Structure 1
Amino acid sequence: MKALVLTGTKQFDIEDLPTPEIGPHDVLIDTAYAGVCGTDHDLYAGRPGSAAAVPPIVLGHENSGVVAAVGEQVTRVKPGDRVAVDPNIYCGQCEFCLTQRPELCDHLSAVGVTRNGGLAEQFSAPASVVYPLPDNVSLKSAAAVEPISCAVHAVDLLKLHPYQKALVIGDGFMGQLFVQVLQAYGVHEVDLAGIVDEKLKLNAERFHVVNTYNTLRESIPEGRYDVIVEAVGLPSTQAQAIAAANKGAQVLMFGVGPQEAVFEMNTYDIYKKQLTIQGSFINPLTFSDAIALLSSGKVDVDSLISHEFALEQVQDFLDGAITGVSKAVVRLAE
């Protein structure tokens, strides 16, 4: 089978690999689409994602496809089923798994990170992380179930109420997803700050964002918001998130920045405003909710997917030779 193999830092090779073997509890999947995200940029550059990727490895952790074969103990899905795959596989035995915090698993493995993923014509996964799709969810849209599920986990960590005013900082794909997920969870006003006028306009017109701020030329109001989602991961935007917080606000630090990055905050403000600052990591058991949001139409990813690549174009994209990308997916099947 044809596969894009990460063979070193910033080095891909197209290779012909054998069909993955599956065990009694595994599923073999013909890949339809694989999303490319910020984590893939990090892994390509030699930085860790949810875990470190050790070459040679096939990336691709946002995957959809059609079941080609199943192990003898698998009853959850059958050949021909259209599916999306949660990349994260937990050990089920460590302290965190046994205390209902599997996302913090000491032995986390992941499709497309620690084991071969969807940037290949076929890949395998345990049946426990393979989810059948409703008929009204396309395979292209289903490649975004994983990022939606990460946003769902993040908002599950918050206490949300309809009266709240929310701000999302960051107009990348994840920031735009958060706009829709917060709305789906009943927050009555969701605003968006970013740096691309076209994205801000799209979210105002199509997704009913109330206020938009292009932070290249205007400031975010201070002390206005009850919920702030920081979806960039830079010290400057993290500081903006704290400054935008109203009394009693919740600040979600979702953006993934450099491991050595730090930002300054006024600790008295945390005390005086009674702020909650919350981190969020991956997506434990939120795939069903993410699929339901797609199926119900409460989350629209098709409007956000700007580019569809072949395997041969992925390296150019990650090298920055292809610009203007809101969200890219790689098409593996006709």
Structure 2
Amino acid sequence: MQAVRLHGPRDLRVNEVELPSLGDREAMVKVAFSAICGSDKRWYTVGTHVMPLTLGHEFSGIVEEVKDSRHQDLVGHRVGVMPLMPCGHCTYCLNGLPNLCTGYSYLGSRRDGGFAQYAAVPVQNLVPLPDSIDLADAAIMVDPVSVALHALRQGGYRTGMRVTVIGGGAVGLSVFLWLHFAFNENAVTVVDRVPEKVAFAKSLGGDAFTDSDPLLKELDSQMELVVLATPAPEAISTALELVARRGTIVMPGIPYKTISVEAMTWEKLLRKEARLIGSWNYAWTDYPENECQTTLRYLAAGTLKPTMIVTHRFTFDQAKEAFNTAFNNNKAEVVMFAASEVTG
């Protein structure tokens, strides 16, 4: 089969490899769609935990085989995939917080992922899809859409809050999709330093500004919630300008390098008594909320359409062009691989 493999930092190759072998509780998923995440760009730059390795953790497909006869009913099902594989026995797993697992594995960074024609996936990581959900939407249902929902919950979002999203990439725009289309918020602001990303956010219906736009000053200290979906130092400064006194800044954006913050910038956090909260992955235990299943329900109802933020599609043999687009095209949002014989 064809697979997009990382052999070392910036050494990306399209290889012909054997079909993955299945473990006892695993399924063979024929990949339909997979998307390049910001994390994939990071792994491409610095290397994964094990190499060579098939990248990709945002994907969907159809179950073709299962190892365990108890799960034969999954064969033929259309599925999304949760890429985080928690250990199941650390303190956090046992307390219903698998996203904080201390002994996890992960598809696409620690073991082979979904940039391939087939992927071996633990049965517990499969999300069976109703017929109303398109496979392309399902590929980005978990990352970044469920990640965005978790960030809003971590930030204490409530209906009617004044919210600004800083970062017009996949996670930031997914936050916007939740707020604007699912929660019917009309006054959502998106900020990015790239004019093309600002224009894209506007095309979705958002109020959007570059971080240098003088009009942004009118929003200083007014935002009850700021979602920091980019780790750029200038974005942190903007967040601290915009957040209201005793407001909240929630951070789902993963940094690629060391972040330095000016003393006067940090002092704004103190003077405003603002809260700074991290956000990692999403929750899929039933209490207090299975965010992946919540996302599934909104997609099934047609309230959310994640492919609204897909801007480019490629096949696996175009992997280098796809990554080049993701890195260098300012108009690129979600860049997706599509299996040529699958339409949705």
**Shared fold (TM-score greater than 0.5)?**
yes
Q: What fraction of aligned residue pairs are identical, expressed as a percent? A: 24
Please say which of residues 85-94 and 216-225 is displaced more in the overlay. 216-225
Q: What's the CA shift for 1:77?
A: 5.0
Q: What's the CA shift for 1:203?
A: 3.4
C-alpha contact (below 8 Å) 1:121/1:333 kept by paired residues:
no
C-alpha contact (below 8 Å) 1:180/1:298 kept by paired residues:
no
Residue 328 (structure 1) aligned to one of 335, 340, 343: 335
1:141 matched to 2:146: no
- Partners of 1:315 and 1:17 lie apart in 2 by 18
Residue 25 of structure 2 is matched in structure 1 by 25
User: Could you say what secondary structure the match of 1:249 adopts?
Assistant: strand
Please say which of residues 231-240 and 94-103 is displaced more in the overlay. 94-103
CA deviation map 1:189-245 (0-9, x unaligned): 3111123445434434533x2x32122443443101000011111111011101111
Question: Aligned partner of 1:213: which letter?
Answer: F
Residue 131 of structure 1 is matched in structure 2 by 127
User: Could you say what secondary structure the match of 2:20 adopts?
Assistant: coil
Residue 235 of structure 2 is matched in structure 1 by 237
Q: What's the CA shift for 1:272?
A: 4.3
Residue 280 of structure 2 is matched in structure 1 by 281
Question: Aligned partner of 1:291: which letter?
Answer: L
Question: Aligned partner of 2:311: which letter?
Answer: S
Change in 2 beyond 3 A, CA 1:198/1:295: farther
CA deviation map 1:63-83 (0-9, x unaligned): 100110112254385211111
Change in 2 beyond 3 A, CA 1:118/1:235: same
- Partners of 2:87 and 2:23 lie apart in 1 by 17
Residue 182 of structure 1 is matched in structure 2 by 179
- Partners of 1:187 and 1:160 lie apart in 2 by 11
Question: Aligned partner of 1:126: which letter?
Answer: P
- Mapping 1:1-80, distance limit 5 Å: 1-46=1-46, 52-75=48-71, 77-80=73-76
Residue 260 of structure 1 is matched in structure 2 by 258
1:293 matched to 2:289: no
Residue 163 (structure 1) aligned to one of 153, 160, 165: 160
Q: What's the CA shift for 1:185?
A: 4.2
C-alpha contact (below 8 Å) 2:80/2:129 kept by paired residues:
yes
Q: Name stretches of at least 5 consecutive residues in structure 2 with no aligned partner.
A: 285-290
1:311 matched to 2:316: yes
User: Could you say what secondary structure the match of 2:190 adopts?
Assistant: strand
Please say which of residues 63-72 and 150-159 is displaced more in the overlay. 150-159
Q: What's the CA shift for 1:153?
A: 1.5
C-alpha contact (below 8 Å) 1:94/1:106 kept by paired residues:
yes
Q: Name stretches of at least 5 consecutive residues in structure 1 with no aligned partner.
A: none
C-alpha contact (below 8 Å) 2:147/2:171 kept by paired residues:
no
- Partners of 2:281 and 2:72 lie apart in 1 by 23
C-alpha contact (below 8 Å) 1:33/1:140 kept by paired residues:
yes
Q: What's the CA shift for 1:8?
A: 1.2
Residue 287 of structure 2 is matched in structure 1 by none
Change in 2 beyond 3 A, CA 1:59/1:254: same
- Partners of 1:33 and 1:59 lie apart in 2 by 13
C-alpha contact (below 8 Å) 1:164/1:188 kept by paired residues:
no
User: Could you say what secondary structure the match of 1:100 adopts?
Assistant: coil
Q: How many residues were matched structurally?
A: 328
Question: Aligned partner of 2:190: which letter?
Answer: L
Q: What's the CA shift for 1:283?
A: 2.3
CA deviation map 1:134-184 (0-9, x unaligned): 212111111111211111121121222223100001111221111122343
Which structure shows the higher helix fraction? 2
Change in 2 beyond 3 A, CA 1:272/1:325: closer
Q: What's the CA shift for 1:132?
A: 0.9
C-alpha contact (below 8 Å) 1:30/1:68 kept by paired residues:
yes
1:89 matched to 2:85: yes
Give me the TM-score of the superposition, normalised by structure 1: 0.90
Change in 2 beyond 3 A, CA 1:185/1:217: closer
Superposed CA RMSD in Å reads 2.2
